[in-house]
Amino acid sequence: MNLSSLQHLGLSEREISIYHALVELGPTSIRDLAEKTAINRGTTYETLKALVSKGIVNYLPKGKRRYFQAEDPERLLVLAEQKKLDLDKTLAKLKSDIIPGLKHLKPEFKSGNVRFYEGDDGVELVLRDILASVERSDEKSYRVISTQALREHLYRPFPNFTKQRIAKGIAVQVIAIGTGGDEAELAQRKWMQGKGDASYIAIYPPKVAMISLADNNYPVVVVIDSNAIAHTQQMMFDTLWAAL
């Protein structure tokens, strides 16, 4: 049985291992539990104290010893509900107070408004930012200029991007330079002749993301966070779109 998902409840791998052993063994001494899990006694004891504090393990005295036992697995649901409640409170606080407060402190435009990323991780970060940003916007759409040379590399780190975009009801207009490019729901596409250097430009105000390929097809990403630049790029895109 794979219990790794219990890490989402704040349990470490060691805590999961000891909890699992307790469920199998029933009431158990620290010595027997340490032998079962191959974890030294001191660490086993400290881990048991943490599990007791989380409400999923208890103990009972037997002579001079303590025997530990797992609570009914249903208690994991209680732990999950508490985690969910704490997360909901944090999310509400982020939306109502923390994020607006931090944005109020942000200067209109400084060098910090330009960010650089590299590799597939950088591409995935930008693709996820596009979905998150556009989902929050009123327009629920964005614009893209994409060259043939880059398209085959773009979704490598995030193969479910288009599926998630459609599920969120986000539309996209694409000017594709060169042949290729798959048709998809909520997507309009127009083509331009030529190949062009490997590049991808996403316009999703107040941001513009630009992806290019360095040597060995290594992605390099630049994101500019500026309403003025984003809306100028959007105006230029709309003019070109109307002319195609």
Distance CA(12)–CA(23), nearest Å, equals 17
Q: What is the pLDDT of residue 83?
A: 87
Q: What is the pLDDT of residue 202?
A: 96
State if pTM tops 0.75. no
For 59, the token pair is 């103990």
Q: What is the pLDDT of residue 140?
A: 94
Distance CA(10)–CA(74), nearest Å, equals 16
Neighbours of 51 (CB within 10 A): 21
Which residues, in sequence order, are CB contacts of 60 under 8 Å at separation 6+? 27, 66, 67, 69
DSSP secondary structure code for residue 87 in this structure:
H
**Average pLDDT of adjacent 10-residue blocks, the chain of 244 residues:** 86 92 91 92 92 90 85 89 89 87 66 82 93 93 91 87 94 87 85 81 95 88 92 94 92
For 18, the token pair is 């000891």
Nearest to residue 119, comparing CAs of 199, 219, 221, 216? 219
Crossing angle between the packed helical segments 13-25 and 41-53, to the nearest 10 degrees: 90
Q: What is the pLDDT of residue 3?
A: 87
Is the backbone peptide bond immediately before 206 cis, with ω within 30 degrees of 0?
yes
Torsion of CA 80, 82, 88, 91, to 10 degrees: -90
Q: Which residues pair with 172 in a beta bridge?
A: 142, 187
Q: What is the pLDDT of residue 221?
A: 93
Q: What is the pLDDT of residue 233?
A: 95
Residue 150's Cβ-side half-sphere holds a number of Cα atoms within 13 Å equal to: 25
Distance CA(21)–CA(3), nearest Å, equals 12
Give SS3 for 16: helix
Q: What is the pLDDT of residue 167?
A: 95
The radius of gyration of the chain's CA atoms, rounded to the nearest angstrom, is 26
**Domains of the chain and any CATH numbers:** 1-106 (1.10.10.10), 109-243 (3.30.870.10)
Torsion of CA 54, 60, 65, 69, to 10 degrees: -50
Q: What is the pLDDT of residue 196?
A: 67
116 phi/psi in degrees, rounded to 5: -120, 135
